[in-house]
Amino acid sequence: MEYFIKAERDNEEVYKAKEVEVKKLNVFGSELAIKIIKELAKKPACAMDLARSLNEHEQKIYYHLRRLEKAGIISLERTEIRAGALTKIYKIEYPYLAVKLFDAKPLKYFARPKEIEILHPFIKEGRMNSIIVVSSPDPHGRFGAASSDGYAAIDLALFLGSFLKKVEINYRLDTQIGEKDLKENLILVGGPKANIIVDKINKFLPIYFDEKNDWQIVSTLSKTVYRDEDVGLVIKMRNPFEQKSFVFLFCGKRFKGTRAATLALIKHAKELEDGNKFKEGIARVVKGVDKDADGIIDDCIFLE
């Protein structure tokens, strides 16, 4: 994935970008091609839709769509049947194009665009735009469980803090979350037995904890069951209590699994989307690894 980074004084903006060869820029030699791009930026469309909105002949639209697709600037989103015929729906994903004119040494720039993309909207424009919800260390909830997942949250908070313009980590215990808070962007740490907010959301998850079977992790995506205590899950999805907001879950059956889940973001953010089968966000299963054999999980591997 390529990115375009726009930095002005203290403000930094990161956009997805598409690298194209110089010779392919001739697709923009027509004003109609540019109009098509602007229409596709609004929403995916087929040639017939574009012909109607631009008041142009459909064959002209087809001609430019083929050229833009061949250049890699637009792509096929899906096909559907309309009036008994197969129709191609095109989309454009990249607001910026990058063209390499000559070889040069890269600038020493340390932006982390992939991490910024994954953390959106939990961190927005260098500020916390979410609540970190940690399981209470005291017995609480319907299971009367006490949690030690707060230790995993410390490393996670340090990681998130590296993306903030000023320190303003916003966290609460699960026992402090009210009905209004449930509709915010939430970063949830700990499994459903200890974190009562995760318990509320568990039934909506594509990979969930099976309360009736010793909290084993069940994937609806791969139809796999995970029973080990050092297995955790990382899920980013729409907030089931407010579709305009998101939730980011780092959970395990025990502390080891939760620790492995947080390490998946901290150490492997660029890999979170590789092999991801959940179309509405991110849903991965990870297993904790003790690389230096000191009895503490310090890394993880992806199981799903």
CA angle 303/250/210 to nearest 5° reads 70
pLDDT grade for 245, boundaries at 50, 70 and 90 = very high
Question: How many Å apart are CA 32 and CA 36, to the nearest integer?
Answer: 6
Structure tokens at 278: 């959940």
Question: Taking residues 71-96, what's their average pLDDT?
Answer: 90
Domains belonging to the chain, first-starting first, are 2-97 (1.10.10.10), 113-302 (3.30.379.10)
Question: How many Å apart are CA 44 and CA 105, to the nearest integer?
Answer: 37
Q: Is the pLDDT of residue 204 over 90?
A: yes
Per the CB < 8 A criterion, the answer to whether 3 and 14 are in contact is: yes
Half-sphere exposure of 28 (CA within 13 A, CB side): 13
Q: Is the pLDDT of residue 96 over 60?
A: yes
Using DSSP's 3-state secondary structure scheme, residue 172 falls into: strand
pLDDT grade for 142, boundaries at 50, 70 and 90 = confident
Q: What is the reported pLDDT for 110? A: 54
Question: Taking residues 73-79, what's their average pLDDT?
Answer: 92
Pairing of strands 11-20, 96-99: parallel
pLDDT grade for 214, boundaries at 50, 70 and 90 = very high
Q: Is the pLDDT of residue 108 over 60?
A: no
Q: What is the reported pLDDT for 67? A: 93
The residue among 163 and 168 whose pLDDT is bigger is: 163
Residue 43 φ then ψ, to 5°? -170, 155
Name the E strands within 9-74. Answer: 11-20
Question: Taking residues 55-81, what's their average pLDDT?
Answer: 93
Residue 173 φ then ψ, to 5°? -75, 155
pLDDT grade for 195, boundaries at 50, 70 and 90 = very high
Global pTM exceeds 0.95: no
pLDDT grade for 56, boundaries at 50, 70 and 90 = very high
pLDDT tens digits along 2-29:
777 776 655 667 788 888 888 888 888 8
Q: What is the reported pLDDT for 102? A: 80
Pairing of strands 127-128, 123-124: antiparallel
Q: What is the reported pLDDT for 165? A: 80
Using DSSP's 3-state secondary structure scheme, residue 187 falls into: strand
Identify the residue whose tokens are 């959106």. Answer: 120
Q: What is the reported pLDDT for 22? A: 87
Name the E strands within the chain. Answer: 2-8, 11-20, 75-82, 85-91, 96-99, 123-124, 127-128, 131-134, 171-173, 186-189, 207-210, 216-219, 225-226, 231-239, 242-252, 282-289, 299-302
Comparing CA positions, the residue from 168, 206, 211 lying closest to residue 191 is: 211
Cα dihedral 273/205/261/138 (nearest 10): 160
Q: At what angle do helices 47-54 and 58-70 cross, to 10 degrees?
A: 120
CA angle 152/154/157 to nearest 5° reads 115
| Whole-number Cα distances in Å, 81 to 17, 78, 86, 88, 89 | 31, 10, 5, 9, 11
Q: What is the reported pLDDT for 117? A: 87
